[in-house]
Amino acid sequence: MTTLAADFHAPSIAYTALSPILIVTVAAVVGVLVDAFAPRASRWALQVTVSLAGLVGSFVAVCLLAHHRQLTAAGAIAVDGPSLFLQGTIAVLAVASVLLISDRSPEAGGGSVVAEASTTPGSADERAGIAAGRAQTEIFPLLMFAVAGMMLFPAANDLLMLFVALEVLSLPLYLMCGLARRRRLLSQEAAVKYFLLGAFSSAFFLYGLAMLYGYAGTVSLSGIQQAAVVGQHNDTLLVLGIGLLGVGLMFKIGATPFHSWIPDVYQGAPTPVTALMAAATKVAAFGALLRVFYVAFGGLGWDWRPVAWGVAIATMLVGSLFAVTQTDVKRMLAYSSVAHAGFILVGVVALNRAGLSGSLFYLLSYGLTTIGAFGILTLVRDPDGEATHLSRWAGLGRRSPLVGGVFALFLLALAGIPLTSGFTGKFAVFSAAVSGGATPLVVVGAISSAMAAFFYVRVIVLMFFAEPVADGPVVVTPGMATAGALAVAVAVTVVLGVFPQPVLDLSNHAVPFLR
């Protein structure tokens, strides 16, 4: 016993380097305590304050660590340029999501995340008090725990830590998907489907982890890479491990053919939660995918790149084709998210410094544009809730030029029109793919972009050139928080399209990964 104790050494943990993740985790724990002990009437405001303070503090910590590069926790976590860039991006996207949620308080009349007070008997003050007590304030600590997992996911440097991060980010999202009260059945269906998607993802990931451990004798990404370069007798384990691990990660990014339930999940979840999943979850998942395939399998491009080509082509084409057929704006944006996963995979396939840098830039620009697009959806409402059917948006731009114009800007950016952030992001990953010898993939990407432009422009034409619906939806005046989130999204979409060089330089300086 004494000998074992003497030989055991606890791993050294650089808490300062992990401060962005730790700050968010502490804020999540504080949120749980607030929900348990704070007076009901003040919980909503306290939860918003704690969440925003934690996210802003985490972003500040990322900025202070900008030039820090270190392996910590026995090499299980890498604090380097790409992980810090992605953590900062996730923090900004999470702030925007919290702002969208905060304006859906009982006093603001929100219906998807909180209960309505209008059907409660009694005086107005009594109804407001009861509604405040029914407010689903648990959404804030759940969101913060999910964000902590998202920040850990792209920084994890071994497969076990990757799996832990995968579960930490996924479990709260399963619950958050089921919090829409106006559409309870649809929301609960979304939660169950997302849980099943996550279960499949975890199962494939674990099988791949086991195969790779059997091949290399280690779960470290750099150790797997060294074993693959040296070569082992049983390459079957390596190939199976790469395939199964890749499938697990493809579920999380929503690539074809693993995307089938993604539109259902996005449609059924509360819209601010959908915005978080479509933006921040995709950023985290692609960060992990990039680290795994660039660090562990970077020298084996001949093994997995042909399959990645096929997945990227199928994802771009399927996402664009199915988006054209949608009559629901929320489902259209969901299939748009699938198509964009294919475009980002083009940067992954490039397997060079420019591909990694371009993918980081694309994730930032896509994330904020997507948050903004879903934020607009929360403002267009029918008596029964959000008006997401495409026919209800006819003439919306005539009746509300500002809302219609902002949504049109986001759609043009998602289509990749020049002078928007979407064009710069696509140019970055496509040029990297050309330099990496994947020109045919870029041709397919250009064709898919042209197809995607059709359904984006179709919505713009419907909003500004069709006759308004007689009993059309009401455009709600956004609260200060929602207006702030949309203003930031608009500013970033324009600035990264007109003057993107500083952020391109930042993403370029962030690479490569620390091994």
The residues near 90 (Cβ < 8 Å, ≥ 6 apart) are 147, 150, 151, 280, 283, 284
Which amino acid, 270?
P
| Amino acid found at 247 | V
Q: Which pLDDT belongs to residue 132?
A: 40
What Cα–Cα distance (Å) separates residue 129 from each residue in 32, 126, 132, 133, 354? 21, 5, 5, 6, 55
Q: How high is the pLDDT of residue 427? A: 93
Which pLDDT band holds residue 108 (cuts at 50, 70, 90)? very low
What does the pLDDT read at residue 318? 92
| pLDDT above 90: residue 287 | yes
Q: Tell me, what's the pLDDT at 127?
A: 41
Percent of the residues in the chain that have a pLDDT greater than 90, as a whole number: 58
Distance CA 494, CA 485 (A): 14
Check: pTM over 0.95? Answer yes or no. Answer: no
Pick from 452, 162, 460, 170: which is nearest to 315 by CA? 452
pLDDT reading at 125 higher than 50? no
Express each pLDDT in 472-505 by its tens digit: 788 888 889 999 999 999 999 999 999 999 999 9
Q: Is the pLDDT of residue 468 over 90?
A: no
Q: What is the pLDDT of residue 116?
A: 35
* Nearest-angstrom CA–CA distance, 474 and 387: 9
What letters, b where the CB count within 10 A reaches 16 and e where it falls short, cover 73-103? bebbbbbbbbbbbbbbbbbbbbbbbbbbbbb
Q: What's the pLDDT at 504?
A: 93
**pLDDT at residue 42 greater than cutoff 80:** yes
Higher pLDDT, 407 or 6: 407
Measured on CA atoms in the order 297, 300, 306, 307, is the torsion positive or negative? negative
Q: 154 pLDDT exceeds 90?
A: yes
What average pLDDT does the segment 435-457 reach?
A: 90
Q: What is the mean pLDDT of the chain?
A: 87
Residue 346 has pLDDT above 50, yes or no: yes
| CA trace torsion 473, 325, 254, 492 (10° rounding) | -50
